[in-house]
Amino acid sequence: MASGNGSIQLLSIATMAYDGVLNLDKPPGLTSARAVDRIKRVLSGGTKVGHAGTLDPFATGVLLVLIGKATKWSQKLMDQPKEYLATVKLGATTETDDPESPESLYPNAAEPARDRIEKAVSTMIGTLLQRPPAFSAMKVAGRRAYKLARGGKPVELEARPVRIDAIEILDWHWPLLKLRIACGRGTYIRAIARDLGEALQTGGYLTQLRRTRIGRFTAAEAIPLDQLSAASIGKLLHSLDAPL
């Protein structure tokens, strides 16, 4: 069990109750809901299971699965700071701002100089208004935006405030730009890729995304889905008895 020093520790192997947070390394090609469903199937019936913060199907990395009494921690965990590794492709766009839809080349796109990219990136740091992607789970008149967009209906989402703490350029070789992004709740990394492409007049979309941290939970310590079983889950749960 958690000690009184405020740290998050693994539950005792002898603990039989399924109550805690599982730091899952979500694989690509799987929705967050489907990943949760797989974990539900290996637990006893009636066990409450949820997650704190959705990852897009193509994305990988930290997905916090909340089991039993830990489901009450959902909002506090979603409020924790997050970090991502993202690859943006400039010179092209997609309808979904990610690799889930066909690519369209951006007319007359030219390779931007690194200092131009740095300047554009700097304008995206801080608390700012961000327009969510049309293909998102945001609701429009009670319906999910992505369902409207898939049906060919125009989707106009209002910009909303988000907090972006840092964007670091890790690598730049046209047309691929690799970034490390630290941000707060509700930030769409796909929207950062889209807005960066617009600022550089090249177009842009997200080709890869890995969430590397939510609060104290890191991808380095995350457990792959294929390593989980009913016997192992109980040994891997983190207790949240202590304040975050």
d(CA 25, CA 149): 29
Query: H helices within the chain, ranges in order?
Result: 32-42, 74-78, 114-122, 145-150, 189-200, 230-236
Task: Report how far residue 56's alpha carbon sits from residue 30's, in angstroms, rounded to the nearest whole number.
Answer: 8
Contact present, 187 and 211 (Cβ < 8 Å): no
Q: Is 56 noted as a catalytic residue in this protein?
A: yes
Q: Helix 189-200 vs helix 114-122: angle between axes, to the nearest 10 degrees? A: 130
Distance in angstroms (rounded) separating the CA atoms of residues 126 and 103: 30
Q: Are 121 and 196 in contact (CB under 8 A)?
A: yes
DSSP 3-state of 52: coil
* Residue of 56, 97, 98, 195 marked catalytic: 56
Q: Phi/psi zone of residue 97: left (φ > 0), alpha (ψ -120 to 50 degrees), beta?
A: left
Report the chain's terminal Cα–Cα distance, integer Å.
Answer: 15
Cis peptide bond N-terminal to 175, omega within 30: yes
CB 161 within 8 A of CB 128: yes
> Is-contact 214 62, C-beta < 8 A?
yes
- Just list the catalytic residues: 56
